[in-house]
Protein backbone atom coordinates (compact mmCIF):
# COMPACT_ATOMS: atom_id res chain seq x y z
CA UNK A 1 0.00 0.00 0.00
CA UNK A 2 1.34 3.44 -0.92
CA UNK A 3 1.35 6.23 1.62
CA UNK A 4 0.07 9.70 0.74
CA UNK A 5 0.93 12.73 2.86
CA UNK A 6 -2.07 15.05 2.57
CA UNK A 7 -1.84 18.82 2.54
CA UNK A 8 -4.28 20.78 4.70
CA UNK A 9 -6.18 21.94 1.60
CA UNK A 10 -6.72 18.36 0.46
CA UNK A 11 -7.90 17.33 3.93
CA UNK A 12 -10.32 20.26 3.86
CA UNK A 13 -11.76 19.14 0.54
CA UNK A 14 -12.16 15.55 1.73
CA UNK A 15 -13.69 16.60 5.06
CA UNK A 16 -16.28 18.89 3.44
CA UNK A 17 -19.01 16.55 2.20
CA UNK A 18 -20.45 19.34 0.01
CA UNK A 19 -17.21 20.32 -1.74
CA UNK A 20 -17.38 20.05 -5.52
CA UNK A 21 -13.96 18.31 -5.65
CA UNK A 22 -14.61 15.79 -2.86
CA UNK A 23 -15.52 12.83 -5.09
CA UNK A 24 -12.51 13.49 -7.33
CA UNK A 25 -10.32 13.63 -4.22
CA UNK A 26 -11.72 10.38 -2.87
CA UNK A 27 -10.97 8.67 -6.16
CA UNK A 28 -7.43 10.09 -6.16
CA UNK A 29 -6.61 8.79 -2.67
CA UNK A 30 -8.39 5.44 -2.94
CA UNK A 31 -6.17 2.49 -2.08
CA UNK A 32 -3.57 4.60 -0.25
CA UNK A 33 -2.74 4.94 3.41
CA UNK A 34 -3.52 8.58 4.20
CA UNK A 35 -1.37 10.51 6.65
CA UNK A 36 -0.96 14.15 7.66
CA UNK A 37 1.91 16.09 9.17
CA UNK A 38 1.88 17.57 12.66
CA UNK A 39 1.36 21.02 11.12
CA UNK A 40 -1.77 19.94 9.26
CA UNK A 41 -3.01 18.38 12.50
CA UNK A 42 -2.48 21.68 14.30
CA UNK A 43 -4.35 23.56 11.58
CA UNK A 44 -7.25 21.09 11.79
CA UNK A 45 -7.48 21.57 15.53
CA UNK A 46 -7.59 25.34 15.01
CA UNK A 47 -10.40 25.31 12.41
CA UNK A 48 -13.39 25.08 14.78
CA UNK A 49 -12.32 28.05 16.90
CA UNK A 50 -11.09 30.17 14.01
CA UNK A 51 -14.24 29.61 11.94
CA UNK A 52 -16.91 29.59 14.66
CA UNK A 53 -18.05 26.05 13.94
CA UNK A 54 -21.25 24.78 15.50
CA UNK A 55 -21.55 21.70 17.68
CA UNK A 56 -22.26 19.25 14.84
CA UNK A 57 -19.16 20.15 12.86
CA UNK A 58 -17.01 20.19 15.99
CA UNK A 59 -18.23 16.70 16.84
CA UNK A 60 -17.49 15.46 13.32
CA UNK A 61 -13.89 16.62 13.66
CA UNK A 62 -13.68 15.85 17.37
CA UNK A 63 -12.35 12.31 17.13
CA UNK A 64 -9.28 13.68 15.42
CA UNK A 65 -8.03 15.19 18.67
CA UNK A 66 -8.01 11.77 20.29
CA UNK A 67 -5.56 10.33 17.79
CA UNK A 68 -1.95 9.52 18.69
CA UNK A 69 0.33 12.51 18.51
CA UNK A 70 2.96 11.55 15.97
CA UNK A 71 4.17 13.00 12.72
CA UNK A 72 2.08 10.71 10.52
CA UNK A 73 -1.47 10.30 11.70
CA UNK A 74 -3.84 8.01 9.70
CA UNK A 75 -6.88 10.02 8.63
CA UNK A 76 -8.94 7.99 6.15
CA UNK A 77 -11.64 7.08 8.64
CA UNK A 78 -11.94 10.68 9.85
CA UNK A 79 -12.52 11.84 6.29
CA UNK A 80 -14.90 9.02 5.44
CA UNK A 81 -12.72 7.81 2.57
CA UNK A 82 -11.40 4.53 3.98
Q: What is the DSSP letter of 22?
A: H
Report field, pTM of the whole predicted structure over 0.85 = no
| 41-70 pLDDT per residue, tens | 888 888 888 888 888 887 777 655 455 444
Under the banding of pLDDT at 50, 70 and 90, the label for residue 23 is very high
Specify the pLDDT at position 71.
44
Specify the pLDDT at position 47.
82
Q: Is the torsion defined by CA of 43, 48, 50, 53 positive or negative?
A: positive
Name residues whose C-beta falls within 8 Å of residue 77's C-beta, 6 or more positions apart in sequence: none
Identify the three-state secondary structure at position 43: helix
Pairing of strands 73-74, 33-36: antiparallel
Amino acid sequence: MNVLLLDTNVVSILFNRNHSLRQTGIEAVAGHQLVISFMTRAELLLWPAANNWGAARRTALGSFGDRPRNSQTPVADLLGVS
